[in-house]
Amino acid sequence: MDVTLDPSAWGLLILTGGVVGLCFGLLGQAGGLALAPALLIVLPLCGVTAEAAPRLAVTTALAILIPVTIGQAEGRLSWKAIDWDFILLLAPGAAVGAVIAAMVADNLDGRIVALFLGSGSILLALRLSRRAGGGDRDHVEPRNPSLLALTLKTVVGGAFAALTGVSAGLILARWLAKALPSAQAAATASALTLPFAFTASVGALLAPAPLTCGPACAGVLFLPALAAIGMSAVLIAPLALRLRPFLPSAPASRSLAVFAIALLCTVGLRPQSLGSLLAETRESALDLVLGSLCEPQPAPAVPIFDRKTLALAPISEAR
290 versus 106: the higher-pLDDT residue is 106
Alpha carbon distances (Å) from 282 to 107, 277, 309 = 17, 9, 53
- How is 162-227 classified by DSSP, letter by letter? HHHT--HHHHHHHHHTTTS-HHHHHHHHHHHHHHHHHHHHHHHHHSPPPTTTGGGEETTEEHHHHH
* Non-local CB neighbours of 65 within 8 Å, separated by 6+ positions: 32, 35, 167, 193, 197
Higher-confidence residue of 286 and 210: namely 210
Domain boundaries, the chain: 8-269
> What is the rounded CA–CA span in Å between residue 189 and residue 186?
5
Measure the CA–CA gap between 21 and 9, rounded to whole angstroms: 18
Mean pLDDT of 25-33: 81
Q: Which of 189, 188, 185 is CA-nearest to residue 171? A: 189
Which position has the higher pLDDT, 261 or 101? 101
**Which phi and psi (to 5°) does residue 217 adopt?**
-115, 140
Residue 76 DSSP code: -
pLDDT of residue 151: 84
- Helix H, strand E, coil C: the string for 96-128 is HHHHHHHHHHCCCCHHHHHHHHHHHHHHHHHHH
Could you report how far apart the first and last alpha carbons of the chain are, in Å? Answer: 64
Note the pLDDT of residue 261. 73
Q: In whole angstroms, what is the distance from residue 167 CA to residue 54 CA? A: 17
- pLDDT, mean of residues 128-145: 59
Choice among 95-104, 106-115, 215-224, 251-260 with the minimum mean pLDDT: 251-260
Please tell me the distance from the alpha carbon of residue 273 to that of residue 291, in angstroms, as a whole number: 26
Give the residues across from 222 on adjacent strands: 217
In sign, the C-alpha dihedral spanning 33, 38, 40, 43 is negative
> How large is the average pLDDT for residues 111-123?
82
State pTM to two decimals. Answer: 0.77
- Are residues 98 and 166 in contact, defined by beta-carbon separation less than 8 angstroms? no
**Count of CB atoms situated within 10 Å of the CB of 140:** 15
For residue 222, report the phi and psi dihedrals to the nearest 5 degrees.
-90, 100
What average pLDDT does the segment 290-296 reach?
Answer: 52
Asked if residues 244 and 73 have their Cβ atoms less than 8 Å apart, the reply is no
CA distance 63 to 60: 5
221 bridge partner residues: 218
